[in-house]
Structure 1
Amino acid sequence: MTYLAVPISAGDITAAGAQIESARAAGAEIIELRTDYLNELNADLVKSLLEHAKPTKLPIIVTCRDKTQGGAGDWPLELRTEVLSAAVRAGADFIDCEYDTFLKGDTQAKLTGTIAENKKTRLILSAHNFAGPFDDLGALYEDIKISCPEAIPKLVYTARHINDCFEGFDLLHNAVGEVIVFCMGEAGLISRILAKKLGGFVTFACVDNENATAPGQITAEQMKKLYRWDRVNAETELFGVIGSPVAHSLSPAIFNACFDERGVNGLYLPLLVEGEKSEFNEFLENIMARNRLGFGGFSVTIPHKAHALDYANAAGEFVEPLAE
């Protein structure tokens, strides 16, 4: 199962309670409590925050993100470790700790020891690269699995181009057990949307655009309604509009509404392919090399119409019979 998680990024308990209710109403399947966003932070506040979230009956992730990996507050390591330990004792379903934080000092011993005493909680070990892809995504995944086999690896990086997403897709395909992999930024949007089809453990969507906690997050409402979250599965056939820009395109809304109306197990995506002919060709080659992704066809708009014609002409033995 893939969960749609909605982060709660409020600065105080009252505002967090309102966000939690909005997240539940928007269709969240997991609530992530981003405690690093709190104006004040201590173990008692984290317990109170959990008590506000528990009535939703949804699984709860507690995160206290290191500022170097996208955290909102510059909280010291000792306090962040204390917060996560308190969350375990208070009944959180998951805690998310950065992998490099996990390896510092006695953090690993404290967290694994607390989890051993409170067996309900599972550990997510995360790594984030806001500059671009990791040097070796597969090796980082293996390092996390070796360091803590029972943890769920979470690997998130910025896609500088849509072609950067395919390494993440390959890891989702090859990973053993639960894993979270997706890309940040507009170029990485499809990796967030396709997490359910490709078997990722969690993907994230915000309550509203003002409360996004990472670049490229779309709202839970968009994920559920525009991108057919509840209907997507491993067999969903994919389509999309290739262009640059594509965010303005009405095609996803039109086609996905048609799929709903006709009961078609399909999903139409905005495919931001920046660059020129070489980048366009690389994107199509990446698709062609991965039939398992299940793409059934594309619309093509500027600046790639001529590039698409050239690509089709180069593959003439496959394309020409369709034009007769």
Structure 2
Amino acid sequence: MAFNGDLLVCAPLECGTREEMLASMELAKKQGADIVELCMGLMPSSDIFEVESLLRLRSLPSIVSFRPNCSKHPSQKHSDRTRIQILTWAAKLGVEFVEIAHEVCTEEYINELKRTSTKTSFIVSNYVNRGSFTREELGNLIIEMQSTEADVIKLVIDVHSITDVAPIFQMLTHCQVPLIVRATGERGLISQLLGPKYGASVVMGSLGGKTVPGLPPLASIKQVYKLENVNADTKIYGVVSNPVGHSKGPQLHNPAFRHTGYNGIYVPLLVDDIEEFFRVYSSDDFAGFRYII
């Protein structure tokens, strides 16, 4: 499976058992997901070796990820050997994508996995917990990650302000390899809602009933925002406020845009500093806002 230009909607699944993973996968499929991320590190040691059965029974294309020390529970800490074994199994079974954390990834490791399977593409991921960064700093990080011979680069970035998302949009536009990117928290929500305008091939969404700050609900991606229709010419509108999560503007304005054939998207914008926001997002693409004090 490769990125062919069509937008893919991905649901990250963090479950403790194979049965919960399979049930969540079916729910994600019903809510519009095209692909799921199976976060294997949250499964307890007693179930982790059921991964082969899980992957054979899956009903959607998958990304298999297993971050080092991702579990908060001491009883669920896994060894490097277990993590490598799971990722290798996934590649041998021809899973569409295997994700490897940048901090433990080398070019030799990637090439070894590529010899295991010709059907699997490999994602190298980095979780950036630093807030503000420049376009140059982000570009240098991506260049460093590309040196591992990854097929896809993935960044999860902890932003402190909505203006911290601007360099992400610039990287999506100019990156030479497929880039999956997500800014965390409510201030990072626009990284998913506006990502397709700047070239994103994948957007992430949360399962209904499981609110994840920074991720739109799966159902809203195709029903409210229709992100598959967003492109470089889409004009951006929104409600500027803090807090902003209660706004019904997207549910009202996006259907109205589509009804009239207008290429626009209306999004919630959690803004702390209004002057800084308008300084950073000053292009003509940002066409109009409602400001609530």
Fold agreement, TM-score > 0.5: yes
Identity score, percent: 29
Structure 2 residue aligned with 1:219: 217
> Aligned to 2:257, which of 256, 259, 273?
259
Structure 2 residue aligned with 1:109: 108
| Residue segments in structure 1 that go unaligned for 5+ positions in a row | 303-324
User: Take 2:155 and 2:201, find their aligned partners in 1: how far apart are those partners?
Assistant: 12
Partner-residue secondary structure (3-state), 2:15: coil
> What does residue range 27-46 of structure 1 map to in structure 2 within 5 Å?
27-40=32-45, 44-46=49-51
**Aligned residues of 1:237 and 1:265 also touching (Cα < 8 A):** yes
> Where do 4+ consecutive residues of structure 1 move more than 4 Å?
41-44, 70-73
Structure 2 residue aligned with 1:81: 84
**Aligned residues of 1:126 and 1:153 also touching (Cα < 8 A):** yes
TM-score (norm. length: structure 2): 0.89
2:94 aligned with 1:91 = yes
Q: CA deviation at 1:188?
A: 0.4
Amino acid at match of 1:66: P
Q: CA deviation at 1:20?
A: 0.9
> What does residue range 173-188 of structure 1 map to in structure 2 within 5 Å?
173-188=173-188
**Aligned residues of 1:36 and 1:75 also touching (Cα < 8 A):** yes
Partner-residue secondary structure (3-state), 2:127: strand
TM-score (norm. length: structure 1): 0.81
2:197 aligned with 1:192 = no
User: Take 1:35 and 1:132, find their aligned partners in 2: how far apart are those partners?
Assistant: 27
Q: CA deviation at 1:216?
A: 2.1
User: Take 2:214 and 2:10, find their aligned partners in 1: how far apart are those partners?
Assistant: 14
Q: CA deviation at 1:40?
A: 3.1
Report the structure, 1 or 2, having the larger helix content. 1
**Aligned residues of 2:17 and 2:47 also touching (Cα < 8 A):** no
**Aligned residues of 2:151 and 2:177 also touching (Cα < 8 A):** no
Structure 2 residue aligned with 1:306: none
- Larger-gyration structure (1/2): 1
Structure 1 residue aligned with 2:274: 280
Q: CA deviation at 1:155?
A: 1.4
Provide closer, same or farther for how the CA distance between residues 111 and 154 of structure 1 changes in structure 2, counting only shifts above 3 A: same
Provide closer, same or farther for how the CA distance between residues 27 and 268 of structure 1 changes in structure 2, counting only shifts above 3 A: same
Q: CA deviation at 1:240?
A: 0.7
User: Take 1:109 and 1:147, find their aligned partners in 2: how far apart are those partners?
Assistant: 8
Amino acid at match of 2:30: A
Amino acid at match of 2:197: K
Q: CA deviation at 1:31?
A: 1.5
Amino acid at match of 1:90: L
Structure 2 residue aligned with 1:145: 146
User: Take 1:46 and 1:133, find their aligned partners in 2: how far apart are those partners?
Assistant: 38
**Aligned residues of 1:179 and 1:201 also touching (Cα < 8 A):** yes
User: Take 1:95 and 1:295, find their aligned partners in 2: how far apart are those partners?
Assistant: 36
Structure 2 residue aligned with 1:319: none
Q: CA deviation at 1:286?
A: 1.3
Q: CA RMSD in A?
A: 2.2
Amino acid at match of 2:234: T
2:60 aligned with 1:62 = no
Moved more, 24-33 or 42-51: 42-51
User: Take 2:36 and 2:55, find their aligned partners in 1: how far apart are those partners?
Assistant: 10
User: Take 1:141 and 1:188, find their aligned partners in 2: how far apart are those partners?
Assistant: 19
User: Take 2:242 and 2:190, find their aligned partners in 1: how far apart are those partners?
Assistant: 14
Q: CA deviation at 1:110?
A: 4.1
Q: CA deviation at 1:131?
A: 4.5
| Residue segments in structure 2 that go unaligned for 5+ positions in a row | none
Partner-residue secondary structure (3-state), 2:50: helix
Structure 2 residue aligned with 1:320: none
User: Take 2:286 and 2:189, find their aligned partners in 1: how far apart are those partners?
Assistant: 16
Q: CA deviation at 1:219?
A: 1.6
Number of residue pairs aligned between Structure 1 and Structure 2? 284
Q: CA deviation at 1:133?
A: 4.2
